Structure 1
């Protein structure tokens, strides 16, 4: 019945009821804003991940980094690795580290920063998903309390007197679930997407570390003749000469 819907809840409810409805409305708007923002961010990161596969096809590290684009977490890892190659940019205490140790530390720090950015906003969804049902339950209890008051003030309470407060309590219950369910589902979906991006970042960080430790400095060694120990000379090769036939 529209008489006992949300409009009736707002027009006939007291200050506590309106405060609870306002809180849950704000929680719903905030959760949907986080879900939409993180969904767009994940879609962009997946596209960046596909672009990262072109990184190894470039002819130079500068062209390869240009393919990643600015603001990409993959580009941030490359920047962190390239800074370790310049000895002048190292802090004084960092001079005690070897090049390999300093590279690993810089990549680990940059990777942790990018993974922390992936988690931004998820705590909001988790908080809303766990607290919204209880906020709605408080509104339910408040509506039932009003129904009991209406029953106590009249000797023979009518259905019309208690239907309003009971309707308010049911609307509050439904409102709390309507806020909590999208937040929980959005949290689970975004967490799963973040795990996929995190795996790609870990793998790319490992590849970058190998490249700067070996690929950028590796030179193929010239083929050397096998050493022959004079104390144990190799036996001479036996050459068979075909016998002349009469």
Structure 2
């Protein structure tokens, strides 16, 4: 154990007990993973937010063709919604269906596409929640272990002076600090991402319902479905 007065971060890391060092390393990796997820979610949620607005604009105009550029690259939310919804609309209303049932069928189909698109933003969120909830306790374990190790050193040297106690206590508390550094951004990011994803889901779901309602009132391009039992 370091008996000097060197309390730099490098000294705290190098002179800590191996168990505390392992805890610090695990928490540092968790913090790196946390920030990687935060950056990735910022990009994904930003794109999904723009796609939800595009779908809202499409529903407001009652269009059936995604805006120019939506079909290029990865399939967007608008393109996916129209890809699954338009075939249902073109088949038309079954003779056994009411207008409301036809609209509900279109809406359910489109909402499934919205849900499938929004699932792209879900991976990583459970890890954020885990880091946010577990990191403080992992850091606390490192702190407790470090203080115990410090007390063992005090007992072995029969010296309770501050120069003997301070380094071990500082190393132990540093583990708690790293745990908080990992946990606080994870909790904030998880809550923010969850709220944003919920808002995008509500906006996109409302847009899908509006688009389904508009399409249900328009005549289909192709003929309607045949009545049950009608010969081909």
TM-score (norm 1): 0.74
Once the two structures are superposed, what CA deviation does each residue of 1:159-190 show, in whole Å capped at 9, x if it has no partner? 22222210111111111111111111111111
C-alpha RMSD of the superposition: 2.9
Partner of 1:83: 87
CA contact (8 A) 1:52 1:68 kept: no
Partner of 1:47: 50
Once the two structures are superposed, what CA deviation does each residue of 1:64-104 show, in whole Å capped at 9, x if it has no partner? 354644532232112110233466xxxxxxx9x96836534
- Note if 1:135 corresponds to 2:159: no
Cα distance change of structure 1 residues 19 and 72 upon mapping to structure 2, 3 Å threshold: same
Once the two structures are superposed, what CA deviation does each residue of 1:31-51 show, in whole Å capped at 9, x if it has no partner? 111111111222222222333
Q: Secondary structure at the match of 1:156?
A: coil
CA contact (8 A) 1:65 1:78 kept: no
CA contact (8 A) 1:140 1:173 kept: yes
Residue 118 of structure 1 deviates from its aligned partner by 3.1
Partner of 1:22: 25
TM-score (norm 2): 0.77
Once the two structures are superposed, what CA deviation does each residue of 1:124-149 show, in whole Å capped at 9, x if it has no partner? 11110000100100110011011110
Counterpart Cα distance in 1 of 2:33 and 2:144 = 25
Aligned length: 209
Cα distance change of structure 1 residues 35 and 77 upon mapping to structure 2, 3 Å threshold: same
Cα distance change of structure 1 residues 107 and 156 upon mapping to structure 2, 3 Å threshold: same
Counterpart Cα distance in 1 of 2:166 and 2:198 = 48
- Note if 1:61 corresponds to 2:69: no
CA contact (8 A) 1:54 1:67 kept: no
Unaligned residue ranges in structure 1 (runs of 5+) = 88-94, 219-246
Counterpart Cα distance in 1 of 2:62 and 2:114 = 25
Unaligned residue ranges in structure 2 (runs of 5+) = 222-232
Residue 205 of structure 1 deviates from its aligned partner by 1.2
Counterpart Cα distance in 2 of 1:108 and 1:46 = 16
Partner of 2:152: 149
Partner of 1:182: 185
Counterpart Cα distance in 2 of 1:77 and 1:46 = 15
